[in-house]
Structure 1
Amino acid sequence: MTVTPKGKTNKARGEETREKLVQVGLKLFALNGFNGVSMRNLASVAEVNLATVGYHFGGKMGLYEAVLRDIIKRKDLVFPDIDTVRFQMNRLKKGEISKCDIFSWFYRKIVLGMIGTEDTVYAALIIDRELVAPSEHYELLDKEFFSHSMGTMEELLEFIMDGKVSREEIMIISTCLIGMALKFVNPKVLMDRVGWDGYTAERVEEVTEILCRRAVAFVGCEES
């Protein structure tokens, strides 16, 4: 039997409204920054009563925290999880794949996790804003997102560099690689220079391929 919207329970309607506000908040905070978004603006775009934001989240900061937690929940869509990376490292040990293969796979996941879809672009824009001007919730993002994700990248880099590079250099390389990908989240400068109207699937693939190829060269694991 089909359940009509009128047949939804109050709890189901509340969860639906809450999710809608998180998605609206993701977009508005990404495009305008925290201070550039008002409660009235959030309510208007989400098509809900102004009091609804406060009811579900206690206010704008509560909604922003919920947006960050939603980004954290999906971090494995941006960074390969550590178990998957270690599985690929074991394949490298067995000679099933090359250093070029594993790092290209890893970095491709990151780039597409940032620019692959509209939602991932919004999430990456918020991450970029937090790195430039940390909010009061930066520590949450650092602990639950950055520490895990950067730690995974650093473990992989140490492995493919055979432990011959200092930890400080590994951390600098990791930061450079993330910064390189984040530069393509807001592609206006690129679009203006190359004459593109925007990202298409083909252009996302082109950017990703170039970035992966250059990242492999940057970390020094090209095939001989």
Structure 2
Amino acid sequence: MKQPKKTTPDAAEAAGDRGDVTRQKLLNAAIDVFGHYGFDGTTTRALASAAGVNLQAIPYYFGGKEGLYLAAADHLATMISSHVSGRRQQVQARLAEIQSEGRAVTRDEARELLTSLLHTLAEVMVSEKSRAWARFLIREQMEPTEAFARVYESVMRPMIEAIRRLVGILLDDEPTSEHVRLRAISLIGSVMVFRVANAAALRQLEWSEIGPREFNAICALITEIVHALDRRGQK
């Protein structure tokens, strides 16, 4: 009787690599396609076609369209986190270091840390790669699902809370107060507008694109806004 062909370690590894490539193709395509057409308007055939993979790969790797949608949200959160979490962790480490010194964070230190966080966020928002991310997230902002909850908890909430803490220092108020929450959200909005309202921003500013000069102008504005966040200057 003919013996079944054994799978060698090299063959198994190659199959695993192909599977990883297929999954990655589907995740990247899903963010773009779901962002354009929404969950209900997207077919598995369109997803497979955009990814350049077999239609059966979706149920095989993700269990179906919903599984791929949630996996795409997790993938999106991971990509955003790879760009912003490093800076956020640096800020949190610096705050912890100051606390270990037994002193309060000064306004100057808070301004510097807050400015660095917002500059990093701006860098992500004006990058071309964030275009597809924004389409996906805007749909989730309008009609939140579990996908939004995943992105919010893993990326958005930690960033907002770090910003709230620094804003609270500048306003001499508790980070949990409604006033600080409002100011933190408005700060983030002043950065995100260059992605979610990109066409209007470019038209109003008479910019053809956001290149190095334009990005420097945005960062200068962020610095100006942060410096205006001082309770003493409001009295």
TM category (shorter chain) comes to 0.7 to 0.9
| Matching residue of 2:155 | 145
Q: Deviations over 1:113-140 (max 9, x none)?
A: 222x322332233233322221243332
Question: What pairs up with 1:127-166 in 2 under 5 angstroms?
Answer: 127-163=137-173
| Matching residue of 1:57 | 62
Query: Is 2:220 aligned against 1:209?
Result: yes
The separation in 1 between residues aligned to 2:225 and 2:39, in whole angstroms, is 32
Q: Is the 8 A contact 2:165 2:175 kept in 1?
A: no
Cα root mean square deviation, aligned: 3.2
How many residues of Structure 1 are paired with residues of Structure 2 in the alignment? Answer: 216
| Matching residue of 1:26 | 31
- Tell me how far 1:13 sits from its aligned partner: 0.2
The separation in 1 between residues aligned to 2:150 and 2:93, in whole angstroms, is 28
| CA 169–79 in structure 1, closer or farther in 2 if over 3 Å, else same | farther
Q: Which moved more, 1:41-50 or 1:163-172?
A: 163-172
| Matching residue of 2:44 | 39
Letter in 2 for 1:53: I
Q: Which moved more, 1:214-223 or 1:102-111?
A: 214-223
| Matching residue of 1:3 | none
Q: Deviations over 1:135-184 (max 9, x none)?
A: 24333233323332222221222233333676111111122122222221
The separation in 2 between residues aligned to 1:207 and 1:151, in whole angstroms, is 23
The separation in 1 between residues aligned to 2:218 and 2:123, in whole angstroms, is 10
Q: 1:185 aligns with which of 192, 195, 217?
A: 195
The separation in 1 between residues aligned to 2:174 and 2:49, in whole angstroms, is 55
Letter in 1 for 2:184: S
Gaps of 5+ in 2: 1-10
Q: 2:93 aligns with which of 83, 87, 90?
A: 87
Letter in 2 for 1:77: H
TM-score by length of 2: 0.75
Gaps of 5+ in 1: 1-5
Identity %: 21
| CA 206–34 in structure 1, closer or farther in 2 if over 3 Å, else same | farther
- Tell me how far 1:81 sits from its aligned partner: 5.8
- Tell me how far 1:22 sits from its aligned partner: 0.8
Q: 1:126 aligns with which of 136, 140, 156?
A: 136
Query: Is 2:207 aligned against 1:196?
Result: yes
| Matching residue of 2:6 | none
| CA 149–176 in structure 1, closer or farther in 2 if over 3 Å, else same | same
Q: Which moved more, 1:24-33 or 1:41-50?
A: 24-33
TM-score by length of 1: 0.79
- Structure with higher Rg: it is 2
The separation in 2 between residues aligned to 1:209 and 1:71, in whole angstroms, is 28
The separation in 1 between residues aligned to 2:83 and 2:184, in whole angstroms, is 18
Letter in 2 for 1:84: Q
